[in-house]
Amino acid sequence: MDDRQVTEDRVLGGRVRLRQKADGYRAGMDAALLAAACDAMPGQRVLEPGCGVGGALLAAATRRPEAMFQGVERDSVAAALADENAALNGLSDRVAIVEGDVEAGFRALSLPVFDAVMANPPFFDDPAALRAPSPAKSGAWMADGGLKAWTGFCLKAVREGGTITLIHRADRLADILALLAPKAGSFRIRPIAPFADAPAKRVIVRAVKTGKAPLVLLPPLVLHDREGGKHSAQAEAILRGDAALGW
């Protein structure tokens, strides 16, 4: 891409350089939280469908230096930037990018199953739910096959006993649980609230394929203090890479 169409940003306390389109969907808080939720062990393989330019993928790879990561992205420009970003951060030996569409299913990638899958599925299934979305961002916000296609992809992509970690809108929690429940369990749910006295707007859901343990509702992560600080101390530590979003 023309450099005038791309910005270079720093995430994870400046440890990760991220080139991304100036006018497209840009990695932000959700990507940072998803990366912080990744707890891959040494030698494990992690897949992120819809990885975009690699905001979550590269932060997770930096946090987990002994794990291997695979990104899947249908947008060719974003996939090229993700590959470039992996090289820019010296991660090409552990981070691979392939073009592919969740709609086509996991088997279309011809990849072996993974130990873990992490994803930030598009938040909307219905175009009418968005108010005049920017064409450059609509692909990241709109799931053509709906949440069902994304959960189905994740379930196929992970081995038995492997984990699926999703960040999504809090009001879709019931749908996420219902879609994963036929083949996964041992749910652990982390609400993400803007303030301590406000309802959660996001949830991070962890499921284990074939897991049978009871559901656990974890304490919420509160992002901001009412006193006017940009982030709460806990959120700031997570965003800078000084703390993980534990399970």
State percent of the chain over pLDDT 90.
81
| pLDDT, tens digit (0-9, with 9 covering 90-100), for 21-66 | 888 777 789 999 999 999 999 999 999 999 999 999 999 999 999 9
133 has pLDDT over 90? no
pLDDT at position 41, please?
97
Token reading at 29: 């808080």
pLDDT at position 38, please?
97
Q: Kindly indicate the confidence band of residue 70, based on its pLDDT and cuts at 50, 70 and 90.
A: very high
Beta strands 6-11; 16-21: pairing state: antiparallel
Provide the Cα torsion 51, 53, 59, 62; round to 10°.
100
Model-level pTM? 0.89
226 has pLDDT over 90? no
| pLDDT, tens digit (0-9, with 9 covering 90-100), for 168-180 | 999 999 999 999 9
pLDDT at position 107, please?
96
Pick the range with the lowest mean pLDDT from 28-32, 108-112, 120-124.
120-124
Q: What is the DSSP letter of 100?
A: -
Cα atoms in the 13 Å half-sphere on the side-chain side of 13: 12
State percent of the chain over pLDDT 70.
89
